[in-house]
Amino acid sequence: MARAAYHHSFEHEHLLSIEGLSPLDISLILDLADNYAEATRAGRRPDPVLSGTTVVNLFFENSTRTMSSFEIAARRLGADVVSMPVAASSVKKGETLVDTAMTLNAMKPDVLVVRHSASGGPKLLSRKVDCAVVNAGDGTHEHPTQGLLDTLTIRRNKGRVEGLKVVICGDIAHSRVARSTTLALHLLGAEVHLCAPRTLLPSGTETWGAASATTDFDKALNGADVVMMLRLQLERMDGAYLPSRREYFRYFGLTGERLALAKPDAIVMHPGPMNRGIEIESAIAEGDRSVITEQVEMGVAVREAVLHLLAGGAT
Amino acid sequence: MSLSIFNARLLDPATGLDTTGAIFADKGRIREISQGRTTAHAEAKVAIDAGGLCLAPGLVDLRVKTGEPGDEQKETLATASRSAVAGGITSFVVMPDTKPVIDDVALVRFIAERAKVSAATRIYPAGALTTGLRGEAMAEIGLMADAGAVVFTNGDQPVGNASLLKRAMTYAASRGATIMSRPDERALAGSGVMNSGALAARMGLSGIPVEAEWIGAMRDTALAEATGCTLILDQVSTPRTLDIAAAARDRGAKVFTMAAAHSLFFNERDVGDYLTYCKVNPPFRTEETRQGLIAALKRGEIDAVVSAHDPQPPEEKRLPYGEAAFGAAGLETVLPALLSLVHDGPLSLLEALAPVTCRPADMLGLPQGRLAEKALADLILFDPDKPWLCERENLRSRSTNSPFDGRRLQGRVLRTFVGGEEVFAHESLA
């Protein structure tokens, strides 16, 4: 039996944030990503829909993981890929983001994948170039492909997103992942609860679509379908935002006992890289409830889908 | 040269005059104010029929930054003055944060001299409160005052050391000097780039909390009260800061307040998609706060409205929001911003003009800002209703980093006179 055909085309020129996408946009990306994930698992090579296109990875912040993920995704679809860890090169010579973008733009790439330490950096760049821009993480603003891969991982494991109770715990204030993932899950009907020490829990999270924001992790875990832990930057732990690492782990670390408060089939997620023993016990990170490596796998699939939609013509 | 402007709507905020009439000016001063007169004075060399439009004192702006000396590519005294007269400003105070800093007598004289030979307006230097604005040692307040500095300030880097500020206030009070200070607790404002709150959190930008301004205002007014120094709180951005000033005044402190015109026009949402032209410090606050400021202005609780003109070239603004410079070009939009409050209802024309004419002039003991016999013939003729589109490329300052870019405004200056001489005529009159 075939699913009823519906047509929704992706009308966005760039992918700069989850904010601004509709639930249909997100479903379209996830469906396509699902196909790519299955193809990879089956050992099938996807159609080279990006053949003849050039994807430039422009990373003003170091990130081997995300840059590799985009690079692999682009190559699988047949694109020519140039990866530039700019953190080490022209920026040191005083060249600005806009200068770098204009220079690259003159080389006529089809997609610029940008990571920048300043919130809104990719947005600024998108105003200055003619090609599609994908935000691969900007400051403490958004990381849309992470939000999408988290949502896809949840959908694959739970068969749905709507109605699920998702708890996201960690440094919410400084997390672009928390913003993108909360927005994406909310758009697909999940109930997202944010949990952090008060000093790392900003006001107004209801505008991201969060159902609640709390400092009581145990209470938040009650009946959760998904538990997502965020990385806590070590420098924020020693007195500036909270008293100590051990105090943080005591109240917000994910242990086996704590996980027992969630539903028996709750899955555990982490965008990586992890601080084992600080936000999450090693045994949990590697346990059978953890889908952390699947998140990495879905990262490639989601990026294939996004690049396809932005530069690969009709689906 | 003698000048007659007749058939005008005469507006004098100092006396509340709002009537049809004419003025006659000669040798730089207003010689006669003739209420009801709709015909020219026969003896005038130049006679202008105002056609019923508004004639008011030229605006007095207490806070302007230029790049002279040191950053002339941003703005010079001359380019700022050309922008000013197009906005109806005939006198302004220039801030000391230049390269070098205006912290000694020779530099105060340099500004006064450069202004005299190059500028279309009257320009008054503000002296640095501390040497090099470093906040470590007080500058020569007395000598600079004698050389013509009208006020002393640390500009955009308020003095952090309360002990030094107290001594500087004590000394300034003994010399009869006025200190202007932006209320700002640096440790709390930190590396913030926009108004603190839900919007900043969602945009992933670090916030400047209102408490930073309140704590700064509490400190500065307490010191003004203790020392008897006259203090102007620079660029107040919340109504509660005005309450703090009022409470200090009730206890006998000599405290004045001023607000930037753009803070009466924009709120934090105007930052929109990380628009760096809207990056100013203090930042645009919430709509509720903006409405509170307007209500306070209506009640006369804001003593002066200023342009806070801060020219920044593209290379300082064409950056990610967090990295871009603070500051907005504002000389040409003070009057339209205030007139928008007249058109929207809350203010009368006289209420809109008082904080940019007689009140700021009185704060510094300057004679201008009034339409009266023997007063300086610094005048503006403006059409309060004329609609126009503010476009960056049409602004006259050398840097055009205006948050008003693309805005539809209403009300334009048609002619500006300094000392009875016409220094600006709108192109529609040509």
pLDDT per residue as tens digits for the range B188-197: 998 999 999 9
Give yes or no for B1 touching A (CB within 8 A): no
pLDDT digits (tens, 9 = 90+) for B310-319: 999 999 999 9
| Statement: residue B268 has pLDDT above 90 | yes
Is residue A315's pLDDT more than 80?
Answer: no
pLDDT of residue A92: 53
Q: Is residue B403 part of a domain?
A: no
Q: Closest CB to B201: pick one of A96, A120, A203.
A: A203
One domain, residues B27 and B71: no
Mean pLDDT of the A165-170 span: 98
Position B24 in a domain: yes
Buried b (16+ CB within 10 A) or exposed e, B314-333: eebbbbbbbbbbbbbbbbbb
Residues B217 and B131 in one domain: yes
**pLDDT tier for residue A29 given thresholds of 50, 70 and 90:** very high
pLDDT, residue B38, reads 93
Contacts of B192 in chain A (CB under 8 A): none
Q: Is the pLDDT of residue A3 over 70?
A: no
- Report yes or no on B155 lying in a domain: yes
Looking at the structure, tell me whether residues B78 and B46 fall in a common domain.
no
Q: Kindly state whether residues B100 and B38 are assigned to the same domain.
A: no
* CB-CB under 8 Å, A120 with B201: no
A141 with A175: CB under 8 angstroms?
no
Verify that B268 and B281 share a domain, yes or no.
yes
Domain count, chain B: 2
Residue B357 and residue B366: Cα distance in Å, rounded? 10
3-state secondary structure of B6: strand
Same domain, residue pair B29 and B64:
no
Domain enclosing residue B357, as ranges:
58-363
Question: Is residue B45 located within the same domain as residue B86?
Answer: no
Closest CA–CA distance from residue B288 to any residue of chain A (Å): 16
Sign of CA dihedral B303, B307, B312, B317: positive
Q: What is the pLDDT of residue B189?
A: 92
Chain A neighbors of B274, CB-CB under 8 A: 119-120, 123-124
How many angstroms separate the Cα of B164 from the Cα of each of A87, B80, B131, B155, B174? 42, 33, 12, 16, 15
Same domain as B72, residue B47:
no
Please name the residue that has the structure tokens 């040798």: B27
Distance from the Cα of A98 to chain B's closest Cα (Å) equals: 7
Residue B116 lies in a domain: yes
Domain assignment present for B393? no
ipTM of the complex: 0.89
CATH code for the domain in which residue B28 is found:
2.30.40.10
End-to-end CA distance of chain B: 21
Q: Are B121 and B228 in the same domain?
A: yes
Look up residue A96 and give its DSSP letter: -
Token duo for residue A260? 């027992």
Asked whether residue B348 is assigned to any structural domain, the reply reads yes
In a domain, B395, yes or no: no
Look up residue B403 and give its two tokens.
């948050």
Residues B38 and B63 reside in one and the same domain: no
**pLDDT of the residue at A88:** 55
**Is the same domain home to B200 and B289?**
yes
B306, B332, B363 — which closes off a domain?
Answer: B363
Burial of B418 (0-12, 13-18, 19+ CB in 10 A): buried
The pLDDT, as a whole number, for residue B208 is 97
Span of A48-57, A234-243, B163-172, B309-318 with lowest mean pLDDT: A234-243
Residues B218 and B341 in one domain: yes
Residue B279's CATH number: 3.20.20.140
Query: Whole-angstrom Cα distance, residue A111 to residue A311?
Result: 7
